[in-house]
Amino acid sequence: MALIACVQIPNLPIAIARRDGMAPLDRPLVLYRVEWQRAVVYAASDDTGLSPGMPLRQARVRCPQATYLLAEPERDRQVIAALAALLEAFSPRVAASERLPDPALVLDLGRMTFSQAIALVARLDRRIRAEIGLLPAIGVASNPLVAQHAARRAGTGVAVLVPLGDEAAFLAPQPIRSLALDAEILGRLDQLGLCTVGDVARLSIDALQAQFGGAGSRLYQLARGIDAAPIPKTIDAPTIRSTRRFAGPLLDRGVLERVIGDLTARLAAQLLAEGWTTGAVALTLVVDDGAPLMLERRLAEPASDAATLTAALFALSRSAVLESGVTAIMVAASDLVPEVAEQRDLFAPAGGSSQRLRDVVGRLHGRFAGSLLRARLADPEALLPERRVRLEPR
Amino acid sequence: MERNPTARLEQVIAAIQRRWGTHALRLLGDAATAPAVPVVPTGFAALDAALGIGGVPRGRLTEMLGTPTSGMTTIALTLIARAQTQGDLAGYVDLSRTFDAEYAAHIGVDLVSLLLVRPSSAADALEIIQALIASGGVGVLVVDALALLQSVPQDARLLEQALRVLPGVLAASPCAVLALTPLPYSPEMARSLAFTGSLLAHAASIRLHIIREAWLPAEQGPPGCHARISVLKHRLAPTKGDAQVLIRFADEVKTWH
């Protein structure tokens, strides 16, 4: 299942100002800018009750106790760029919208299970906190539209994962204005008394097309949480290679396979060291007379272990027809995706069923977060039973 | 055509078994043809013997009824502890919100790997139970007070629907589901509830009724009781009579014949 993550830093300019210690944490903060010789609010902390675009004079009257500072949009853009660079370590496809004060960065995580996504989100969150010093809101879903809504709903320092198939149910209670629709369509939906996404999702595509023409089918898809817009590739993921040249041409398959085994072990070690898994392997055999023989195989799922890679490369080498000796062998791992940490402590003994259970628990956790618990003996000496035992979310 | 009726019957049985498998039809007394039912031992030898199959069956629903302090929860927790030592993952669906983690740890339950579920509604509970069973990763699932859902008409409907689906999901899973049904203290009411009127009664493959017979005298060490466990229903094997067990609430649990 391909998953999309959306990372937002809620109220980014205020978060940066707070991070940099430009204003006391316990006081409301307002950032303003001057445009057309008129000072307006650029960003304001939630406790001020002010909104961006409001005249500064009016803001000072409504919230006199706040700290007022001149905004630095360039610094905000630098932080967004740093965040995008950090996210590119997790995916080669990252799209950033610099719409302040809540910019959104969307990244394509590729094919992964829900439990893998949970582990990846935890890593992402830790790195953003450590390297950027800000608390992200992260949404994960099967498409960018739902991932962005999930991030918006998550709030500061929280991640929300929407299981596959639950997109429409997740969007249903959201106001229809949360979808990126033009004002005319929104106005007509309002007149029709359709206030939430769920209200629109209940209508047939014919009814929507009759009302809105071509835009009706787009509206039909958005209301059901369908968004097929791809995220363009922003960087090229590296390809890891390992090569060996021979003094003379070799034709012995046994020797060639031993060399391929050695090269694959080296490749796997490098993948492991750099935290990658590969989705495809390639074998290049440079033959004595003629063009190099290049063979490629896509793996059923991304892997970094030597056994899987060796099996795939051996299969490639056996399919090659060699009429002359080989002078060099190159093995390469491409289509790299970041390795996802496995949860090994709880479900270690079993095989496929434990993987399914991990997925199920991950999915249930997204829906019934407060219901799945882990009991822990906290303080055995405490007099009150509720202090002796602690129930924590699993 | 075979004229001997016994021989003809054997031919018909053989034909049915060839077509639909040996599980489709067999003589109950014929132990050799009975398929071995995968079980989780309860930790009480007498109870395992009374069940006739060596424990609580996997892929089936077992209901245990008993009044509070009869030892029902202790037996369930012992089952979980036993399953965990075998490498199974266990879950405890705490509908009654009475799960005592301290006591569970005392019984030997590994709390770290125990999946504790406290759902906020009946619908959530039934969905979580079904999902956990269907995952195939849970070895034992204890559901405390599942029958209580019957007291609310809307929840009872949900339970009825879920119980129609559950046997199918369970059959394909290695999970042994033990539903605990607390009974009122009054013996007459308890007896009537135990024998009739439960939605679970129909769905369960095995129904056990635990009755505390006597408290242990104080001079005999930590508190405990003698309990008798009757097998009310058994779809998998002929029952071997009642089991008498000794349950100690604050010390080790031992078997008594």
Other CB atoms closer than 10 Å to residue A216's CB: what's the count? Answer: 19
Backbone angle region of A285, left / alpha / beta, with phi > 0 → left and psi within -120 to 50 → alpha:
beta
Nearest to A161 by CA among A369, A344, A394: A369
Q: What is the ipTM of this complex?
A: 0.72
For residue A326, with 0-12 CB atoms within 10 Å meaning exposed, 13-18 middle and 19 or more buried, which class applies? buried
pLDDT for B27 equals: 67
B102 touches chain A (CB under 8 A): yes
**Contact between B89 and A357 using a beta-carbon 8 Å cutoff:** yes
Mean pLDDT (whole number) for B244-254:
66
More confident residue, A150 or B10: A150
Say whether pLDDT at B177 is over 90: yes
Instruction: Inspect the interface and report whether the beta carbons of B131 and A346 lie closer than 8 Å.
Output: no
Q: Domains of chain B: which residue ranges?
A: 1-35, 38-248
Q: How many residue contacts between A and B have a Cβ separation below 8 Å?
A: 89
Our CA-based measurement puts residue A392 at a distance from the nearest CA of chain B, in whole angstroms, of 10
Q: Which residue of B has its CA nearest to A348?
A: B87
Question: Which of A163, A221, A212, A153 is closest to A184 using CA atoms?
Answer: A212
Nearest CB partner across the interface for A371, out of B87, B114, B128: B128
pLDDT of residue A251: 82
Residues paired with A119 in a beta bridge = none
Cα B235 to Cα B238: distance, rounded to the nearest angstrom: 8
Q: Which amino acid is at A99?
A: R
Contact call for residues A12 and A2 (beta carbons, < 8 A): no
Tell me the β-bridge partners of A240: A333
| Tokens coding A48 | 């001020």
| Contact with chain A for residue B131, Cβ under 8 A | yes
Q: Which residues of B touch A383 (CB under 8 A)?
A: none
Binary contact (B135, A389; C-beta < 8 A):
no
**Dist CA A323 CA B161 (whole Å):** 67
Query: What is the side-by-side order of every strand in the sheet holding A293-303?
Result: A240-250, A326-338, A276-287, A293-303
Based on the number of CB atoms within 10 Å of its own CB, is A213 exposed (0-12), middle (13-18) or buried (19 or more)? exposed
Q: Is A229 exposed, middle or buried (0-12, 13-18, 19+ CB in 10 A)?
A: exposed
When CB atoms are compared, the residue of B101, B120, B137 closest to A353 is B137
Partners of residue A350 in chain B, C-beta under 8 Å: 87, 89, 137
Which residue in A360, A374, A389 is closest to B132 by CB distance? A360
* Rounded average pLDDT over B216-220: 74
Residue B51 CB burial class (10 angstroms; 0-12, 13-18, ≥19): buried
Buried b (16+ CB within 10 A) or exposed e, A349-383: ebeebbbbbbbbbbbbbbbbeebbbbbeeeeeeee
Distance from the A116 Cα atom to the nearest Cα atom in chain B, whole angstroms: 17
User: What are the residues facing A107 on neighbouring strands?
Assistant: A5, A94
CATH H-level superfamily of B38-248: P-loop containing nucleotide triphosphate hydrolases (3.40.50.300)
The nearest alpha carbon in chain A to B116 belongs to: A373
State both tokens at B124.
């959530």
**DSSP letter at A375?**
E
CB B159 within 8 A of CB B195: no
Q: How confident is the model at residue B26 (pLDDT cuts 50, 70, 90)?
A: low
CB within 8 Å of A93: residues ≥ 6 apart: A107, A108, A231, A232, A233, A234
Average pLDDT, chain A: 81
Which residues of chain A make contact with B140, given a CB cutoff of 8 A?
Answer: none
The upper half-sphere exposure of residue A315, i.e. CA atoms within 13 Å in the direction of its Cβ, equals: 12
Smallest Cβ–Cβ distance between B120 and the set A371, A376, A377 belongs to A371
CB atoms closer than 10 angstroms to residue A79 = 19
Report, in angstroms and rounded to the nearest whole number, the Rg of chain A calculated over CA atoms.
Answer: 27
Nearest Cα to B95, choosing from B181, B158, B209? Answer: B181
pLDDT of the residue at A39: 86
Query: DSSP string of B35-97?
Result: PPPPEE--S-HHHHHHHSSSSEETTSEEEEEE-TTSSHHHHHHHHHHHHHHTT--EEEEETTS
What CATH code is assigned to A240-338?
A: 3.30.1490.100
Residues A377 and A391: their CA atoms lie apart, in Å, by 9
3-state secondary structure A28-97: CEEEEEEECCEEEEEEECHHHCCCCCCEHHHHHHHCCCCEEEECCHHHHHHHHHHHHHHHCCCCCCEEEE
Q: What's the pLDDT at B196?
A: 47
User: CATH for A9-141?
Assistant: 3.40.1170.60
Strand partners, A3: A110
The DSSP output letter for A289 is S
Question: In this complex, is the C-beta atom of B135 within 8 Å of any C-beta atom belonging to chain A?
Answer: yes
Amino acid at the residue B194: A
Q: What is the pLDDT of residue A344?
A: 42
- Residue B210 and residue B227 in contact, taking contact as beta carbons nearer than 8 Å: yes
State the smallest CA–CA distance between residue B245 and chain A in angstroms. 28
Residue B223, pLDDT score: 76
B87 touches chain A (CB under 8 A): yes
The segments of chain A whose pLDDT lies below 50 read 341-351
Distance between alpha carbon A384 and the CA centroid of its chain, in Å?
43
The reply to whether residue A354 touches residue B137, judged by beta carbons under 8 angstroms, is: yes
Radius of gyration of chain B (CA): 20
To the nearest 10°, report the CA torsion of A212, A213, A215, A219: 60
- pLDDT attached to residue B33: 47
* Mean local confidence (pLDDT), B215-225: 76
Query: How close is the nearest chain B Cα to the Cα of A184, in Å?
Result: 40
B145 close contact with A: CB closer than 8 A: no
DSSP one-letter string for B181-200? EE--S-HHHHHHHHHSS-HH
Q: What is the pLDDT of residue A343?
A: 41
The DSSP string of B121-177 is: SHHHHHHHHHHHHHHS--SEEEEETGGGGGGSHHHHHHHHHHHHHHHHHHHTS-PEE
User: Domain A167-223 falls in which CATH fold?
Assistant: DNA polymerase; domain 1 (1.10.150)
Model pLDDT, residue B255: 38
Residues of B in contact with A373 (CB under 8 A): 116-118
Confidence of residue B91 (pLDDT cuts 50, 70, 90): very high
The overall average pLDDT reported for chain B is 82
Say which residue, B120 or A92, is predicted with more confidence: B120
B105, B115, B116 member nearest A377 (Cβ): B105
Phi-psi region of A315 (alpha: psi -120 to 50; beta: other; left: phi over 0): alpha
Q: Do B111 and A349 touch (CB under 8 A)?
A: no
Q: What is the pLDDT of residue A222?
A: 85
B116 touches chain A (CB under 8 A): yes
Identify which of A29-38, B180-189, B226-235 has the greatest average pLDDT. B226-235
pLDDT value of residue B188: 62
The three-state (H, E, C) secondary structure of A290-356, written as one string: CCCEEEEEEEEEEECCHHHHHHHHHHHHHHCCCCCCEEEEEEEEEEEEECCCCCCCCCCCCCHHHHH
Domain boundaries, chain A: 9-141, 167-223, 240-338, 352-393
Looking at the partner chain, which of B105, B114, B128 has a beta carbon nearest the beta carbon of A364? B128
In 3D space, the residue among A259, A305, A258, A257 whose CA is nearest the CA of residue A278 turns out to be A305
- Scanning every residue of chain B, which has its alpha carbon at the shortest distance from the alpha carbon of A347? B89
CA distance B152 to chain A (A): 21
Q: What angle do CA A349, A353, A358 make, to 5 degrees?
A: 85
Q: Is pLDDT of B179 > 90?
A: yes
Nearest to B128 by CA among A110, A142, A360, A151: A360
The per-residue pLDDT for B75 is: 93
What tokens does B2 get? 């075979």
Phi, psi for residue A231 in degrees, rounded to 5 = -100, 120
Count other Cβ atoms within 10 Å, centred on residue A218: 16
Distance between CA atoms of A13 and A135, rounded to whole angstroms? 13
